[in-house]
Amino acid sequence: MSGEGLQIERPALEQLASLLLERAGLKITPDGYYGLRLALTARMPAIGLDDAGEYVRRLRGLAGETELRALLPLVTVGKTEFFRDTRQFNAFERTVFPELVERASLSARTAKIWSAGCATGEEPYSIAMVALERSAPVDIWATDLNPAAADSAAKGVFPARRLVGLSEERIARFFTTTGEGSYVVTPPVRQLVTFEAHNLAAPFWPQVSAGSLDAIFCRNVIIYFDQPTIVGVMDRFFDALRPGGWMFLGYSESLFKTPTRFEMVEVGGTFAYRRPVTPRRVPDPPRSMLTPLPRPAPSTDSRPPLVVQASSPSGLTSLVPPPPLPRPSAPPIPRPSMPRGPGEPALTPVERLRDVVSAIDQGDFPRALRLARRLVDDVPDDLAARLTLGNVYVLMGSLDEARESFGAALAREPLCVEARVYLGLAGMQAGQLEDAKIELTRALFLEPTLALGHYLLGQVNERRTDLEGARRAYRNAIKHRKAPEHELLGHFPDLPRSNEAVGQSAQYRLAAISET
């Protein structure tokens, strides 16, 4: 059964939106029903259904949880835009793209780029526009888990509001209007891109030949994966790239603590990963999941890239890769802020965030607030900064502002587990225990093995005098103390950070309330 021609009526979309709000805290307004429809078009045929009402009933039923988890990554398909992350695209356009095209032309072949997790196509079409502007031949392969998203992308039709991020010149050159308030990409753009459905989490990718690609964009996708999946995907990406090939991740994603053969490279004020021209040693196994990546100060120049890991035959600056550090049970000790003099480089966002953390840990919340607000204004996509700002508000008792910050984080990253956990903490701080329980339940729906989430839920249940619920939650926290570590983005002081520490605290609480 294919998704073509499925009848998906509005009442079913409304019911689904309310179910997603209740279970995962996703707020989907009628504007987002297009994305919901795409997700249903992918999932319903996969489980042999053609009636959307029946699908929603199935989700509400006993076996619904598994299906809801399969649906979730597809639901946020709409979260993309043309030339998303301007700094990264500038670096690609000015430095990486000319280099990879030149290398390809030296061996008389066409450069090949993969947009993996392309959603509705804005990313691969942006790459195609760069290629056309530079009159450089390129082959772009664009894939997504959701076949309906890939089909929609291939049509190349976008409502006017989705063209944000595009200059007037690009709209005029690369789009024509349909006359119904929509725009369609011109044939030269479309001809450069081939769209297909493809699951990155599958253990083998028969369609991808070893050493065949010059660059891979996989931005804002690995946030959906657990650590073993990330390791597998990165391994396969590495093998798929030619030596010297490039890989781009999203702004809040990094491989900082993932064992990888990639080298990390600073290019044009942003970071990218690169398959070294010669092999390098693989670091030790990971200790935690995604961490914010240190980022350099904004820059608009097109200097050659600076290699910050591993040795580089290109003669560029090379530093030895940092061995993975033992996972701290508390957040890293921040360096005090040193004001920089004129002519010295500005602090990077990560350095600025460290200053916020330092101010929080010293109890200087007004300073933390000032610094965090400025950071979020300057780097609106920095999820860790936005979450930390929310936490500063929580610590200062400004609950409305805190919720607004977490809401803004969720608008950028709808499945952000951290925002749910911190909203739970905000509820606890304000004594709004029912709200806290809902938010923590949502966090655990998104990440069932999050020991800290179970532990906090235990605390909330204790305060609600639901001792049975508290015992259940503490037992779950203990059960998941060996789960892969998930280092939370954003800083909240005095949280037990390692699963082992969380499990121990849960054990104490469990013993204490079992005696009562």
Ligand X SMILES: C[S@@+](CC[C@H](N)C(=O)[O-])C[C@H]1O[C@@H](n2cnc3c(N)ncnc32)[C@H](O)[C@@H]1O
- Which stretches of the chain bind ligand X, using CB under 6 A? 73-74, 76-77, 79-80, 84, 117-119, 123, 144-146, 149, 199-201, 219-221, 224, 250
Please, are residues 443 and 453 in contact by the beta-carbon 8 Å criterion? yes
Nearer to ligand X, 151 or 351 (CB): 151
Nearer to ligand X, 271 or 474 (CB): 271
Nearer to ligand X, 145 or 395 (CB): 145
- The beta strand positions in 229-311, using DSSP E, are 241-249, 263-267, 270-274, 306-307
> What is the nearest approach in angstroms of ligand X to the Cβ of residue 158?
13
Task: Copy the structure tokens of residue 114.
Answer: 């993969």
> What is the nearest approach in angstroms of ligand X to the Cβ of residue 27?
16
What is the C-alpha separation between 112 and 210, in angstroms, rounded? 13
Q: Which residues does 365 contact at the CB level (< 8 Å), separation at least 6?
A: 359, 392, 395, 396
> What is the nearest approach in angstroms of ligand X to the Cβ of residue 79?
4
> What is the nearest approach in angstroms of ligand X to the Cβ of residue 231?
14
φ/ψ of 248, rounded to 5, equals -110, 130
Nearer to ligand X, 220 or 318 (CB): 220
> What is the nearest approach in angstroms of ligand X to the Cβ of residue 329?
32
Maximum separation of any 2 CA atoms in the chain, in Å: 77
Nearer to ligand X, 324 or 448 (CB): 448
Beta strands 138-144; 111-116: pairing state:
parallel
φ/ψ of 473, rounded to 5, equals -65, -40
Nearer to ligand X, 43 or 497 (CB): 43
> What is the nearest approach in angstroms of ligand X to the Cβ of residue 189?
17
Nearer to ligand X, 71 or 460 (CB): 71
Question: Which residue bears the tokens 């699951």?
Answer: 199
> What is the nearest approach in angstroms of ligand X to the Cβ of residue 441?
23
What is the C-alpha separation between 30 and 205, in angstroms, rounded? 36
> What is the nearest approach in angstroms of ligand X to the Cβ of residue 72?
9
DSSP code of residue 95: I
Nearer to ligand X, 167 or 199 (CB): 199
> What is the nearest approach in angstroms of ligand X to the Cβ of residue 147?
10
Nearer to ligand X, 250 or 458 (CB): 250
Nearer to ligand X, 76 or 441 (CB): 76
Alpha-helical (H) ranges within 51-146 are 52-60, 64-75, 86-91, 97-106, 122-133
Beta-carbon neighbour count of residue 277 at 10 Å? 14
> What is the nearest approach in angstroms of ligand X to the Cβ of residue 145?
4
Order of all β-strands in the sheet with 111-116: 193-197, 138-144, 111-116, 213-218, 241-249, 270-274, 263-267, 306-307
Q: Which residues does 249 contact at the CB level (< 8 Å), separation at least 6?
A: 218, 219, 222, 255, 273
What is the C-alpha separation between 301 and 293, in angstroms, rounded? 21
Instruction: Classify the phi-psi angles of 473: left when phi > 0, otherwise alpha if psi is within -120 to 50, otherwise beta.
Output: alpha
Task: Copy the structure tokens of residue 106.
Answer: 């030296």
